[in-house]
Amino acid sequence: MTNRPAPDPAKCPTRGPSDVPFILGLSVIGSVYVLLIVAMLVADVSFTSPKHFWQALQSREIRYSIKLSLLSCSLTTIFSLWVAVPIGYLMSRHEFRGKTLLDAILDIPIVLPPLVIGLSLLILFQTPVGRAIQKVIPITYEIPSVILAQFSVACAFAVRTLRATFEQINPRQEQVALTLGCRRSQAFWWVVFPEAKHGLITAATLAWARSLGEFGPILIFSGATRMRTEVLPTSVFLELSVGNIEAAVAVSMLMVMAAVFVLVVIRIFGWERPLGRPF
């Protein structure tokens, strides 16, 4: 261990009578943001009523958007895990040339503005390769475009979570399995994968929640067509565009309840576990 120099007594004056002013100052500053979040939620609840909420659920268009949101978010989550598990495992266990560049590429969907992602997808399917794909499967302004737009962003969050999960799993157990005659694939499925269950649940929950709230890429790549590519964020936009604020708030409350559910699941299975604490 490196011997650290002793602190300079001149820079560490005798402790004052109380730390209350310091803690109070931090609390006041931090409470501003907390109060802002609470105030927004209270405003939403006070603006709507059970009647408005029920009327929104009676709307055929909103019921369609709920069904499409549940379907697309679930498929996006499955696809995200299929991709995130191998990428997260390889990035956590192997060193190779270009790893830093690949790591940066995987973060691009997280830092790019959502509208740019939607525009990029739209341009991609106007290329010769994209047009050839659309001759087989119509994508742009169809339901597959909703899933692809959600997947483009949600998968990046799943990759980050699962990479952190695999990095926190001790590779010693995997090495022991290999010395006992297991193949790398057997060691992964029998040893590593069961240990990553909490991270898998967290990644799936994050991917589902991120998909549910996706709007920018869907608006550009899928459009805002009633009873066709309408999901919950699109419903909020369409209801606001016709001045039906009550319905927009009611749909927003559905998304708030979904967000609360996601937070509860993450707290139960432990957000901190895949990010730094052992399972």
In a domain, 234, yes or no: yes
Query: Within 13 Å of residue 27, how many CA atoms lie on the same side as its CB?
Result: 6
In a domain, 37, yes or no: no
End-to-end CA, the chain: 28
3-state SS, one letter per residue, for 31-54: HHHHHHHHHHHHHHHHHCCHHHHH
The pTM assigned to this predicted structure is 0.81
In a domain, 3, yes or no: no
In a domain, 117, yes or no: yes
Domain that holds residue 194: 72-276
Count structural domains, the chain.
1
Query: Given a cut of 80, is residue 276 above it in pLDDT?
Result: no
CA distance 153 to 73: 12
Residue for token pair 């979040």? 37
- The alpha-helical segments, DSSP class H, found in 2-142 are 20-47, 50-58, 60-93, 99-111, 114-124, 128-136
What does the pLDDT look like over 231-248, one tens digit per residue? Answer: 989 988 888 888 888 888
* pLDDT of res. 272: 47
In a domain, 97, yes or no: yes
What does the pLDDT look like over 127-176, one tens digit per residue? Answer: 999 899 888 888 889 999 999 999 999 999 999 999 999 988 888 888 87
In a domain, 119, yes or no: yes
CA distance 169 to 274: 9
Q: How many residues belong to the chain?
A: 279
In a domain, 42, yes or no: no
In a domain, 61, yes or no: no
Where residue 268 sits, what CATH number does that domain have?
Answer: 1.10.3720.10
